[in-house]
Each structure stands twice: as C-alpha cells, then as structure tokens.
Amino acid sequence: TSTQTNIAAEKVIQYTGTELNTKGWQQEAALRMLMNNLHPDVAEHPDKLVVYGGIGKAARNWESFDAIVRSLKELENDETLLVQSGKPVVVFKTHENAPRVLIANSNIVPAYANWDTFHELDKKGLMMYGQMTAGSWIYIGSQGIVQGTYETFAELANQHFGGSLKGTITLTAGLGGMGGAQPLAVTMAGGVCIGIDVDETRIDRRIETRYTDVKTDSLDEAIRIAEEAKAEGKALSIGLVGNAADLLPEMLSRGFIPEVLTDQTSAHDPLNGYVPSKMSMEDAAKLRESDPEEYVRLSKKAMAQHVAAMVEMMDKGAITFDYGNNIRQVAKDEGVERAFDFPGFVPAYIRPQFCEGKGPFRWVALSGDPEDIRKTDEVILREFSYNKHLCNWIKMAQEKIQFQGLPSRICWLGYGERARFGKIINDMVASGELSAPIVIGRDHLDSGSVASPNRETESMKDGSDVVSDWPILNAMINAVGGATWVSLHHGGGVGMGYSQHSGVVIVADGTKEAEARLERVLTTDPGMGVVRHADAGYDIAIQTAKEKGIKIPMLEG
Ligand code: NAD
C-alpha cells in the first residue's frame, strides 16, 4: 500500500560520495549496501523489505532495520555486529582485521527444516527468509544474475546449436528479480525468448529496464512474433502475461514446441512464489491470506501440471533444464514420476567453471559514480585480455546493462584471478584513480559456498550432493581471513530444507590492511570451490589445484 511504500521511501537513503556516515569504510560499505538492497530501483518490494526471490528480505522488520542502521553508524573499527535472521543481536569488541558484520539467516535444525516450521517462526517474528544476497546485502539487481544466465545459455548454445541461439526460441516463465535476466541473456546469445509471467507489473519493469523488448497478453501473438523473429534470425524477447501452468499445456495443444525450455518462477516457495492455475493476482493474494494451506495445495498442483508439460515438450524435442527453483522436487512429490528426467543447469552447463573456482564475482562503486565502474571495466579488458569470452561479456554489459542503484559490475572470475583483480582495485582506490572505495562480493550461488542437492551440488561425481560441511568451512575461513561481512544461510534458491550456503563481502578501501585481507579472502573463497570439486574427483579441479599449488593433504600424485 502507499503508506507502506512511504516507509521505505522515508527510511531507505542511498548514501553516495566520499563523506562517511559511519566510523570507517567497512561499516559504511555495509550501510550503503543494505540501503542499496532496498533501493526502490533495486528491490522488488522495498515496502515489505523484500529484495528478490519470493520473500528474500534484507532485514526482519523496520524496527530491526532501524537498529541495524543505528548500530552500523556507531560501530567502531574493532567491533563486530552480529545479525540473526535480519535482527541485530549484539556488538562485540573483536579486532580490526575481523569482519565488521557476521550474519546468520533462516537456519533451522535439520530435522525441522521445512517451510511449515519457517512460517511458524516467521509469524512469531523470530525469523526471516534471507534468500542468498538479500539477507547478506550484496544484491545488485538483475545484473547480478545476467552473466550467469548468459553463461548458461551460451554453453547450451555451444553444446546444442553450434555456438549461437540465433534462429531458436527459448520458452521460460518467471520474469522476477532474477528470472528477469533470462530474456536479456537469451537475446545476448542471439536467440528469441518468450518469458511468461503472471504478474504484468513484473514484465513492465523488465521492459522499463530494457531486459525485455515487447509485451503481450495474447498467446497467439507471442507465438507469431517469436516465430517471425526466429525465421529472420533476429534476437528478440517477448514478455507474455499469463500463468505458465496454463499456457504450457495450451502451447502443446497448438503444437508449439520451443527449441529451449526452462523456468524461473519462485517455485521454491509454494506460498509466496508461485501462483496457482487459472487464478488472478487479486484472488491469489486473497487466498494466500485466508487459507494458506489451500493455496499451497493448489500451487503445488499447478507446478505438477507445469512440469508435466515441460517433460512432454522435452519428449517432443525441446532442450529442457531446471533453472534452480526446485520445481522438479515439488512436481515429483506431487506424483510426476519423470520430473527429474530433465537435468539441473549446474551439472548440464556450469560445473566445469565451478571446478576452476569461477562464479558470479561482483563489485560495487560506493561513490555512486558510474565512471568508477567504467574504469574497472577497462582494467578487465586490459588485464584479462587473454579471456575473449570475458572481454566480450564486459563490452556487452557496458552496452546493454542499465545500473540499478549503486553502479556495479559482475563477471565470472576464478581462482587466482579474483585475488589479482582485488589488488588492482585496491591500488586504484589508493592512488585516487577511483573516487571512493569499492565493495567486492559474490552470489552464494558460487563454486565453493553452497550445498544444494537439486541445484549447485546436483549429481556430484562422488555422490556428496547433500554434504553441507563445505559452505560452513567456506564461511569460517573467509571470516578468519578478514572479510568485511560473512553470512551463513539456509534455504536460498531452492527453499527450506534443500540448501545451505554462505556469502562473503570485502571492501577495497585502498589501505595496506585491506590489501592483505583481499589477498587472503579472495584466495580462500574461490579456493574452497576448487577444493570442494577436487575432493569430489573432478579432473579440472584436481588439475587447477595442482597448477596453482593449493595444498590439499590427500590429493593423489
Ligand atoms: P521473484 O519472486 O522475484 O520472481 C518470480 C516470478 O515468477 C514473479 O514475477 C511471479 O509473478 C512469477 N510467477 C509466479 N508464479 C507464476 C506462474 N504460475 N506463471 C508465471 N509466472 C509466475 O524471484 P526471482 O528472484 O526471479 O527468482 C526466481 C526463482 O529462480 C527462485 O526460485 C530463485 O530461487 C531461483 N533462482 C535461480 C537462480 C539461478 O541462477 N538459477 C538464481 C537466482 C534465483
């Protein structure tokens, strides 16, 4: 409502420039990134503190938000603030090289780790859902996922279509905070995209930010425009207003089969993230309030219908993959036996990169000045010129990506590269080439920071899909190394009970101390990715570990 919106407008202040509102750049970075997560151009529902991904929040409630802001403003350079599911709980005296903030979000003892327990705790005000980068304050808008999405579609094009999606149609659903990156990534790879979303306002937002080209609420028109563009070999994205659970079966009955098929509705959260079949947004909102159990029942049933249609399209030739929202699991639980017949995107397209410690590395200009990001782009083009794919990405990003909130950039860098880049950025801050410090972080969806058996760790070579010691070790070693803030979450991406993961953010403020911290953290963090995959027996990871001299006690040879 408008009154709620006013709360966000009043409380969320995007600080920029070189003047501190806190006692140091580390605290300042946390403050500015918290504000950035909730910036109206960045967050999906700032009025509800929701950043993205269903109900992924940045703080538990507005009182907690105020207390976090107050604590960060008062925090000394040798103190650490602890945040429990979006509520600040204590400030301890630690030391200068310790993290300024430690965050734990949505963690529930394993035997109880399901949505029912979560909702009960949430209702009592004892917990919030942190998703991945929402509760760990390093969300940068849809850009955060664009390169990963582009990497996925580019690899798919390599494997199936000779390197380009030109002349193909990709069908997907869910044009929300993350899913909204799909149409842009598909057109970047040369293809045509039909992106279904039941909420028209989401499609409008993608059009405003140029992630989607055109909008229609007619299935026939969407198919016609898509087929025309496909025939002409044109890249084009179409936002189609409607419910995927209803439209996919419709498409099948019309004989329409896309070349590529996936889905990024918020199926991980049946209550808040998915709209049941044949239901308007208004009716959905009402039922969600009046009878949540019935809502969840209908929502899961619609997901089963949706996945059954995906399997049928796959049988008829569509290259089909799960895009990390756990929709296969729900459908399987609902009796769709073949739900797991199509693979997840990580084993299908991404894992080789994880083996080299590569993943969605990102940085943000705390100054608020886009010029700072332009200068760091130049560094990538100069220092990593051997990587044509990466340089191509940076040029495309410069041309096509509109910043949301603080200017930022993302690119997939691996072990060795991240530490090298971190030092360069710190030097640029020290010399004054950049106008203010830069904050460096990553998604929790990364090579060594997540255990998620239906997503990042699906089908591991040694069967260790459900082992979650790795993200915990990752968080601990990054904290020891002196990251600026470290977080440990449960349930991100795929929902309660299905994942544990950690986040890391570190500030390059141009000091020598920061240089040492960056060197440590930007080595251990991607290092955990190499080690995790080497331990599971992946050759690329074993070779990377050997080449880079990572000391793995029990690695053969
Ligand atoms: P979001 O909640 O912002 O958006 C979800 C969208 O799905 C909304 O726009 C909603 O209107 C739409 N939707 C819901 N039910 C629908 C239906 N039946 N038919 C059509 N549209 C429907 O979420 P998000 O941040 O975009 O994330 C989407 C999902 O993808 C989440 O499950 C998230 O965990 C997962 N995810 C995957 C990756 C990845 O790289 N694979 C990354 C981030 C998030």
Task: Give the whole-angstrom CA distance, residue 46 versus residue 15.
Answer: 17
pLDDT by residue (tens digit) across 501-530? Answer: 999 999 999 999 999 999 999 999 999 999
Q: Are 65 and 201 contained in the same domain?
A: no
Q: Taking the CA atoms of 204, 369, 392 and 152 in sequence, report the sign of the dihedral they define.
A: negative
Burial of 372 (0-12, 13-18, 19+ CB in 10 A): buried
pLDDT value at position 6? 83
Q: Are 332 and 426 contained in the same domain?
A: no
Does the structure show a pLDDT above 90 at 1?
A: no
The answer to whether residue 389 is domain-embedded is: yes
The answer to whether residue 463 is domain-embedded is: yes
Strands (E), 94-175: 101-105, 169-173
Task: Give the whole-angstrom CA distance, residue 67 versus residue 86.
Answer: 10
The answer to whether residue 102 is domain-embedded is: yes
Q: Which atom of ligand 1 is nearest to the CA of 199?
A: 11
Q: Are 89 and 115 contained in the same domain?
A: yes
391 is catalytic: no
Does the structure show a pLDDT above 50 at 442?
A: yes
What does the buried/exposed string (b/e) look like for 4-24 if buried means 16 or more CB atoms within 10 Å of the residue's CB? eeebbeebbeebbeeeeebbb
Half-sphere exposure of 366 (CA within 13 A, CB side): 28
Task: Give the whole-angstrom CA distance, residue 76 versus residue 209.
Answer: 39
pLDDT value at position 2? 45
Given a contact cutoff of 8 angstroms between Cβ atoms, the answer to whether 303 and 326 are in contact is no
pLDDT by residue (tens digit) across 353-385? Answer: 999 999 999 999 999 999 999 999 999 999 999
Does the structure show a pLDDT above 50 at 64?
A: yes
**Of the residues 123, 152, 177, which one is the last residue of a structural domain?**
123
Q: Which residues are annotated as a binding site for NAD(+)?
A: 53-54, 131, 177-179, 197, 202, 243-244, 264-268, 274-275, 323, 493
Residues facing residue 319 across a β-bridge: 260
The answer to whether residue 136 is domain-embedded is: no
Task: Give the whole-angstrom CA distance, residue 349 versus residue 159.
Answer: 9
Does the structure show a pLDDT above 80 at 492?
A: yes
Task: Give the whole-angstrom CA distance, residue 243 versus residue 284.
Answer: 12
pLDDT category, 144, cuts 50, 70, 90?
confident
Between strands 438-442 and 500-508, the pairing is: antiparallel
Task: Give the whole-angstrom CA distance, residue 123 versus residue 275.
Answer: 21
In 3-state terms, what secondary structure has residue 215?
Answer: strand
CATH code of the domain covering residue 168: 3.40.50.10730
The answer to whether residue 19 is domain-embedded is: no
Q: Which residues are annotated as a binding site?
A: 53-54, 131, 177-179, 197, 202, 243-244, 264-268, 274-275, 323, 493
Q: Are 261 and 156 contained in the same domain?
A: yes
The residue among 269, 284, 200 whose CA lies nearest residue 54 is 269
Strands (E), 272-342: 319-320
**Of the residues 69, 89, 123, which one is the last residue of a structural domain?**
123
Q: Please report which residue ranges of 161-218 form alpha helices under DSSP H.
A: 181-188, 200-208
Q: Are 311 and 363 contained in the same domain?
A: no
Domain that holds residue 33: 2-11+26-123
Given a contact cutoff of 8 angstroms between Cβ atoms, the answer to whether 467 and 499 are in contact is no
Task: Give the whole-angstrom CA distance, residue 269 versus residue 401.
Answer: 29
Confirm or reject: Cβ of 323 under 6 Å from ligand 1. yes
Q: Are 336 and 228 contained in the same domain?
A: yes
pLDDT value at position 145? 86
Sheet containing 236-241, strands listed edge to edge, beginning at the edge strand earlier in sequence = 214-216, 236-241, 192-197, 169-173, 260-261, 319-320
Q: What are φ and ψ of residue 47, in 5° steps?
A: -60, -30
Q: What percent of the chain is predicted at pLDDT more than 70?
A: 99
The answer to whether residue 416 is domain-embedded is: yes
Residue with tokens 């309030």: 289
Mutate to test the pocket of ligand 1, among 194, 263, 264 (most ligand atoms within 8 A of CB): 264
Of the ranges 67-76, 144-153, 395-404, the best mean pLDDT one = 67-76
pLDDT by residue (tens digit) across 161-209? Answer: 999 999 999 999 999 988 999 999 999 999 999 999 999 999 999 999 8
Confirm or reject: Cβ of 284 under 6 Å from ligand 1. no
The answer to whether residue 488 is domain-embedded is: no
pLDDT category, 4, cuts 50, 70, 90?
low
In 3-state terms, what secondary structure has residue 68?
Answer: helix
Mutate to test the pocket of ligand 1, among 171, 202, 266 (most ligand atoms within 8 A of CB): 266
Residues facing residue 489 across a β-bridge: 105, 501
Confirm or reject: Cβ of 307 under 6 Å from ligand 1. no
Q: Are 287 and 355 contained in the same domain?
A: no
pLDDT by residue (tens digit) across 459-487? Answer: 999 999 999 999 999 999 999 999 999 99
Q: Are 457 and 528 contained in the same domain?
A: yes
ipTM of the complex: 0.98
- Chain mean pLDDT for the chain: 96
Q: Are 306 and 355 contained in the same domain?
A: no
Structural domains counted in the chain: 3
Q: Are 265 and 221 contained in the same domain?
A: yes
Given a contact cutoff of 8 angstroms between Cβ atoms, the answer to whether 40 and 12 are in contact is yes
Task: Give the whole-angstrom CA distance, residue 446 versus residue 13.
Answer: 30
Q: Are 377 and 455 contained in the same domain?
A: yes
Confirm or reject: Cβ of 268 under 6 Å from ligand 1. yes
Q: Are 536 and 425 contained in the same domain?
A: yes
Between strands 500-508 and 485-490, the pairing is: antiparallel
Residues facing residue 91 across a β-bridge: 81
pLDDT value at position 389? 86
Residue range 123-128: average pLDDT?
98
pLDDT value at position 557? 56
**Of the residues 342, 372, 392, which one is the last residue of a structural domain?**
342
Does the structure show a pLDDT above 50 at 395?
A: yes
The answer to whether residue 486 is domain-embedded is: no
Residues facing residue 362 across a β-bridge: 410, 441
